[in-house]
């Protein structure tokens, strides 16, 4: 498998640019950015990413809902949820989600993402 | 001195005088008892109700009846003369007592005229003639010497005689007067409301026989029945005398029935104090005053009319009714439509009025209190909601601001570390510089947030510095017109600060104002805060921001007023009590 093609979904521009720089420096290919849930779904249909890095708190709908809708797409991408909060804030919702996993924003790194993707496969 | 002691002393003194005069004169014992009975009845009435003049009138009647005891061989000449001169003084006294019952006041003009006529009659029949009379003219062997008190010349005497002669004989004037008085008593009793009828009943029973007997006496004397039919004359005299003895007692009984009724006013007060719905006040007052048609209307300031308990207009007083208006602090409060006869009830109506006034006042205070309580409850729950909203806002501000920035910086730092590890020093140096800038911004954001939670400058340096700092940071130019230099109670300072801070934020965010002026003044133990902008106005005082401010101000017993006519700027005015 070649470098994973990633879509970043987050409403904070600053965070998107930081995480894009980090991911690109680690060898990922960032194919697009979205600021909210609905534009993320549209972007997934057009760009067909391998991975979606999805913030939980979005202005129009929450990340769990976006993940649920993405899972119903044909050839659904792997979804990695992320948030400024840590996992303990989302206990039950994390258990029921079709997403691959959750990484707090402060702990985002290439190794954590790769580990999640590898584990799930 | 105690009124009762005075009464007892006067009664005893009266008794002594009556006994002495009775023994000196020729009168029977009943004539000795008569003045004393009136005196004692008057004293009792005066003791029970000093403001009711019936007591005083009864005492005066007693003094008038005393004149009969002045006639006798062993009575000093001066007393004898006074006795003869005022022999008829009982007439005006009796007229006054009967016409003024039970209030003791002659309220109508014709009543006053009747008493005056009786006085004039007394003066013309006995007083004036006797002043110029010489005892020898009377052919009176028992009469003391020197009766001609004024020592008038024969000229004056003949003039006095002419006045006496011009005046009609006693019988023609007094008999109609006494019979008329009896008729007035009966008519009044007939027309009276139920309770008043009960009071005047005993008086009527005693007064009518007395007046008729006096008339009969007058006619009998005019016909000289004492010569032709001495038995008839004696019988009439006896009836007149005994009726006279019963009369003061009857008046006392009538008055005491009134006192019993007045005691029920206490009952009224108690009942009204317990439940003070208007309909209950009306029912209780109707029952106590014995007027089933009584109606009470409460003043409605918005309708500017008196409304009864059902909300309908208070009916106008009928022909036999009268309306009494009760006021509170000069403002109309209650109107009572009642039987006109209640106006004759002396202090009864005013006592009942005072009770009603108190009850309605209680009712008003209760309503005000419950409104205030509801307002306090509502504002308490609004304060809780506002505090929750504030916390949510803080969480969101932290999440969207400093936290996001710090997370990005963490990612950047990790990346810089990776670059250093790979030996890419120039790129790492750029990253570290960017991280430092980011940290500075994050710190500024945190500082701003902390200031929003509670400005430390307000606590440390007071309102003047805090407001200067606030106006320097304001998005709209601020003119600080006045700020009191000293420190104020911290809670008041905080409320004033947040009122200004919110008003400045509104002026910038919603009003598109170009300039805002701020003034804080201390006046008479109050802090007055005024924020005036030149924006577009039309602010909603019930909007969540201003409502929250009003609650905040109300929490320290202050008041917030917002004046924001569309197109003419906004004035936010807060008045906060401040004792320190």
Residue that is written with structure tokens 């009204």 in the block: B272
Whether residue A18 lies within 8 A of chain B, CB to CB, comes out as: yes
pTM of the complete model beyond 0.80: no
Give the nearest chain B residue to A106 (CA atoms): B407
ipTM score here?
Answer: 0.78
Give the nearest chain A residue to B427 (CA atoms): A25
- 3-class DSSP state for residue B571? strand
- Alpha-carbon distance of B348 to B341, in angstroms, equals 11
CB contact under 8 A, A22 and B408: no
* B410-420 average pLDDT score: 85
* B298-310 average pLDDT score: 84
Say which range, B102-106, B173-177, B521-525, has the weakest mean pLDDT: B102-106
Token pair for B270 = 């108690």
Whether residue A25 lies within 8 A of chain B, CB to CB, comes out as: yes
Give the nearest chain A residue to B396 (CA atoms): A57
* B354-363 average pLDDT score: 74
Percentage of the residues of chain A whose pLDDT score is greater than 90: 50
| pLDDT over threshold 60, residue B274 | no
Q: Which one of A12, A19, A107 makes the best mutation probe of the B interface by having the most chain B beta carbons within 10 Å?
A: A12
Cross-sheet strand order for the sheet of B516-523: B478-482, B516-523, B526-533, B570-577, B559-563
Q: Using a CB-CB distance cutoff of 8 angstroms, which residues of chain A are in contact with residue B407?
A: 15, 18, 84, 105-106
pLDDT digits (tens, 9 = 90+) for B435-488: 888 888 888 888 878 877 778 788 888 899 889 988 988 889 999 999 998 888
CB contact under 8 A, A108 and B411: yes
SS (H, E, C) B496-532: HHHHHHHHHHHHHHCCCCCCEEEEEEEECCEEEEEEE
Give the nearest chain A residue to B417 (CA atoms): A22
Number of Cβ within 10 Å of residue B324's Cβ equals 18
Cis peptide before B447 (omega within 30 of 0): no
Residues 76-115 of A with CB under 8 A from B: 84, 105-106, 108-109
Q: Which one of B392, B404, B421, B424 makes the best mutation probe of the A interface by having the most chain A beta carbons within 10 Å?
A: B404
- Alpha-carbon distance of B9 to B11, in angstroms, equals 5
Burial category of B144 from C-beta neighbours within 10 Å (exposed 0-12, middle 13-18, buried 19 and up) = middle
- Alpha-carbon distance of B277 to B274, in angstroms, equals 10
CB contact under 8 A, B404 and A57: no
Say which range, A22-36, B95-109, B130-144, has the weakest mean pLDDT: B130-144
DSSP output for B217-277: HHHHHHTTHHHH-HHHHHHHHHHHHHHHHHHHHHHHHHHHHHHHHHHHHHHHHHHHHH---
Domain ranges of chain B: 169-260, 262-369, 371-453, 456-577
Instruction: Identify which of B455, B276, B458, B248 has the alpha carbon closest to the alpha carbon of residue B357.
Output: B276
Q: Using a CB-CB distance cutoff of 8 angstroms, which residues of chain B are in contact with residue A22?
A: 411-412, 414-415
Yes or no: say if B206 and B246 are a contact pair by the CB < 8 Å rule: yes
Instruction: Identify which of B376, B385, B373 has the alpha carbon closest to the alpha carbon of residue B548.
Output: B385
Within 13 Å, how many C-alpha atoms sit on residue A115's CB side? Answer: 9
Residue that is written with structure tokens 């990612």 in the block: B411
Whether residue A12 lies within 8 A of chain B, CB to CB, comes out as: yes
Rounded to a whole number, what is the distance in angstroms from the first to the last CA of chain A?
12
Token pair for B533 = 């902008």
- 3-class DSSP state for residue B298? strand
- Alpha-carbon distance of B425 to B417, in angstroms, equals 10
pLDDT at A34 (0 to 100): 95
Residue that is written with structure tokens 């993320």 in the block: A40
| Confidence band of B542 (pLDDT split at 50, 70, 90) | confident
- The partner residue sitting opposite B408, judged by closest CB among A15, A25, A26, is A15
CB contact under 8 A, A14 and B404: yes
The CATH number of B262-369, from 3.40.50.300, 3.40.250.10, 3.40.1080.10, 3.30.450.40, is 3.30.450.40
Which CATH class, in words, describes the domain spanning B456-577? alpha beta
Domains of chain A: 5-120 (3.40.50.2300)
pLDDT digits (tens, 9 = 90+) for B364-410: 788 889 988 988 888 888 888 878 888 888 888 888 788 888 888 88
Whether residue A31 lies within 8 A of chain B, CB to CB, comes out as: no
Whether residue A48 lies within 8 A of chain B, CB to CB, comes out as: no
Instruction: Identify which of A68, A104, A114, A97 has the alpha carbon closest to the alpha carbon of residue A83.
Output: A104
């Amino acid at each position: 498998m070649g470098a994973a093609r990633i879509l970043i979904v987050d409403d904070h521009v600053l965070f998107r640019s930081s995480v894009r720089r980090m991911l690109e420096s680690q060898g990922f290919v960032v194919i697009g950015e979205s600021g909210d849930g609905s534009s993320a779904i549209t972007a997934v249909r057009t760009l067909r990413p391998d991975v979606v890095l999805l913030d939980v708190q979005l202005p129009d709908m929450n990340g769990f809902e976006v993940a649920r809708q993405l899972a119903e797409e044909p050839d659904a991408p792997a979804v990695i949820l992320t948030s400024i909060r840590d996992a303990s804030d989302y206990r039950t919702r994390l258990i029921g989600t079709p997403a691959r996993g959750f990484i707090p924003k402060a702990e985002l790194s290439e190794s954590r993402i790769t580990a999640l993707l590898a584990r799930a496969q | 001195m105690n009124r009762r002691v005075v009464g007892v002393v006067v009664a005893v003194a009266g008794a002594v005088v009556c006994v002495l005069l009775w023994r000196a004169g020729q009168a029977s014992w009943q004539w000795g008892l008569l003045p004393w009975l009136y005196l004692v009845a008057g004293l009792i009435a005066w003791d029970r109700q000093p403001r009711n003049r019936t007591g005083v009138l009864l005492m005066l009647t007693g003094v008038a009846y005393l004149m009969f005891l002045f006639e006798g061989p062993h009575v000093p000449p001066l007393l004898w003369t006074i006795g003869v001169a005022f022999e008829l003084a009982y007439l005006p006294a009796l007229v006054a007592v009967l016409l003024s019952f039970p209030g003791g006041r002659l309220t109508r003009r014709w009543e006053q005229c009747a008493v005056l006529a009786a006085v004039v009659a007394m003066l013309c029949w006995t007083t004036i003639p006797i002043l110029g009379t010489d005892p020898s003219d009377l052919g009176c062997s028992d009469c003391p010497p020197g009766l001609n008190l004024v020592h008038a010349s024969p000229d004056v005497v003949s003039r006095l005689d002419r006045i006496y002669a011009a005046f009609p004989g006693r019988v023609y004037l007094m008999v109609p007067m006494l019979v008329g008085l009896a008729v007035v008593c009966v008519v009044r009793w007939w027309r009276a409301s139920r309770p008043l009828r009960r009071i005047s009943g005993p008086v009527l029973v005693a007064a009518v026989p007395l007046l008729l007997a006096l008339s009969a006496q007058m006619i009998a004397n005019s016909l000289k029945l004492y010569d032709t039919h001495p038995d008839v004359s004696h019988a009439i005299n006896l009836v007149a005398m005994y009726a006279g003895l019963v009369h003061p007692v009857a008046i006392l009984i009538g008055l005491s029935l009134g006192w019993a009724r007045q005691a029920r006013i206490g009952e009224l007060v108690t009942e009204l104090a317990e439940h003070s719905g208007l309909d209950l006040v009306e029912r209780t007052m109707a029952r106590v005053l014995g007027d089933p048609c009584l109606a009470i209307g409460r003043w409605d300031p918005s309708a500017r009319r008196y409304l009864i308990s059902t909300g309908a207009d208070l009916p106008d007083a009928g022909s036999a009714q009268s309306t009494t208006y009760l006021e509170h602090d000069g403002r109309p409060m209650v109107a009572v439509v009642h039987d006109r006869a209640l106006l004759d009830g002396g202090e009864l109506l005013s006592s009942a009025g005072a009770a009603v006034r108190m009850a309605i006042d209680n009712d008003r205070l209760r309503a005000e209190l419950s409104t205030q309580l509801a307002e306090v409850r509502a504002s308490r729950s609004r304060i809780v909601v506002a505090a929750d909203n504030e916390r949510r806002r803080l969480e969101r501000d932290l999440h969207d601001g400093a936290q996001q920035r710090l997370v990005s910086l963490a990612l950047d730092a990790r990346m810089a570390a990776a670059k250093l590890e790979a030996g890419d020093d120039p790129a790492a140096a750029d990253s570290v510089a960017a991280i430092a800038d980011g940290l500075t911004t994050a710190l500024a954001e945190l500082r701003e947030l902390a200031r929003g939670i509670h400005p430390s400058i307000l606590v440390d340096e007071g309102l003047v510095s805090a407001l200067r700092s606030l106006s320097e940071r304001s998005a709209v130019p601020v003119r600080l017109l006045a700020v009191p230099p000293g420190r104020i109670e911290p809670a008041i300072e905080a409320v004033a600060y947040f009122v200004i801070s919110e008003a400045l934020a509104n002026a910038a965010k919603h009003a598109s104002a170009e300039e805002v002026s701020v003034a804080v003044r201390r006046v008479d133990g109050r802090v007055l805060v005024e924020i005036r902008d030149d924006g577009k106005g039309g602010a909603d005082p019930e909007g969540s921001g201003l409502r929250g401010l009003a609650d905040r101000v109300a929490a320290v017993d202050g008041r917030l007023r917002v004046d924001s006519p569309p197109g003419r700027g906004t004035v936010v005015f807060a008045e906060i009590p401040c004792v320190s």
